[in-house]
A and B are shown apart, each in its own frame.
Chain A
């Protein structure tokens, strides 16, 4: 009995789907439909393009800033070298006495 009720319910549902299909025919698109699609495409394209321009401008600005900083800092470092002499020279200067002692075998008379 339950199975028969189910079958009847399913048949009624199938009939309802068929009726719904008839009650909802494909609507006729308005005359503006295609122009509006193109408008949306264009507006998306403009938005994408302005975003790309903005990103390119940011990259260019960052690049210019990097170059400016480099142009400002590099000559300064070149004028003031960090090391005036080599490590060996510095050591030699600091330990001149010890060096002399070693050479003379400790006799400083």
Chain B
């Protein structure tokens, strides 16, 4: 998502909006990988990425007629993605609170893989980074987590974030600054 390029023609979005299912299928094909990547980084649970991704496209299908113009399609799709990720993370947080002792499937898989000793050093480093970032993000609110991911990892500009969050640039800067400070504090406490 670093290079935020429009993947499809506006005309295709227009057709999908008017109920053309083959056009919607093309939209789905064009955006699925990008959306799944964003979800994977937002939620940090590989086993649930496709489920959340399907929810995003389901919501897209049933709300596409509310899209004002095809020009705002991408921020709008991002908004749906962010909302679905929020819903998932809130559900997970509630579940986590009630079942603190359970290991996630990802953790179990990681433990199995490391026990097997099959992974390369590069994989190990990636796993360590993923775990570190996820544990860091678990220490801040869902709102901070999603905002920081979109800005720092997905590389969205303030202008793009403005369209997603529907708030002005100054308000966003303040929110970002505070979120960064909170993560920085957690990071320093951890290291």
Q: How far is the CA of A10 from the CA of B41 in the complex (A)?
A: 20
Given the complex, which residues of B lie within 8 Å of A83, measured CB to CB?
A: none
Does B34 contact A26, Cβ atoms closer than 8 Å?
yes
Tell whether B72 is near chain A: CB-to-CB under 8 Å.
Answer: no
Does A37 contact B37, Cβ atoms closer than 8 Å?
no
Given the complex, which residues of B lie within 8 Å of A21, measured CB to CB?
A: 2, 41, 153, 155
Contact pick for B36, options A6, A19, A22, A27, CB 8 Å:
A27
Q: How far is the CA of A34 from the CA of B24 in the complex (A)?
A: 11
Does B41 contact A37, Cβ atoms closer than 8 Å?
no
Does B126 contact A23, Cβ atoms closer than 8 Å?
yes
Does A34 contact B37, Cβ atoms closer than 8 Å?
no
With CB as the reference atom, state the residue of chain B lying closest to A41. Answer: B61
With CB as the reference atom, state the residue of chain A lying closest to B128. Answer: A23
Most B Cβ at <10 Å: residue of A6, A14, A27: A27
How many residues of chain A have a CB within 8 Å of chain B? Answer: 27
With CB as the reference atom, state the residue of chain A lying closest to B2. Answer: A21
Tell whether A36 is near chain B: CB-to-CB under 8 Å.
Answer: yes
Q: How far is the CA of A54 from the CA of B108 in the complex (A)?
A: 46
Does A37 contact B58, Cβ atoms closer than 8 Å?
yes
Given the complex, which residues of A lie within 8 Å of B156, measured CB to CB?
A: none
Does B37 contact A25, Cβ atoms closer than 8 Å?
yes
Tell whether B139 is near chain A: CB-to-CB under 8 Å.
Answer: no
Tell whether A33 is near chain B: CB-to-CB under 8 Å.
Answer: yes
Q: How far is the CA of A14 from the CA of B25 in the complex (A)?
A: 37
Does A20 contact B40, Cβ atoms closer than 8 Å?
no
Does B187 contact A12, Cβ atoms closer than 8 Å?
yes
With CB as the reference atom, state the residue of chain B lying closest to A10. Answer: B184
Q: Which residues of B in the span 44-92 have a Cβ within 8 Å of any Cβ on A?
A: 46, 49-50, 53-55, 57-58, 61-62
With CB as the reference atom, state the residue of chain A lying closest to B62. Answer: A44
B15 CB, nearest partner CB in chain A, Å: 17
Tell whether B28 is near chain A: CB-to-CB under 8 Å.
Answer: yes
Given A10-B184, A20-B133, A37-B28, decide whether A27 and B46 contact each other with a Cβ distance below 8 A: yes
Q: How far is the CA of A7 from the CA of B153 in the complex (A)?
A: 19
Does B53 contact A24, Cβ atoms closer than 8 Å?
no
| 4 closest A-B pairs by CB | A26-B37, A23-B126, A17-B152, A23-B129
Tell whether B33 is near chain A: CB-to-CB under 8 Å.
Answer: yes
Tell whether A93 is near chain B: CB-to-CB under 8 Å.
Answer: no
Q: How far is the CA of A9 from the CA of B133 in the complex (A)?
A: 15
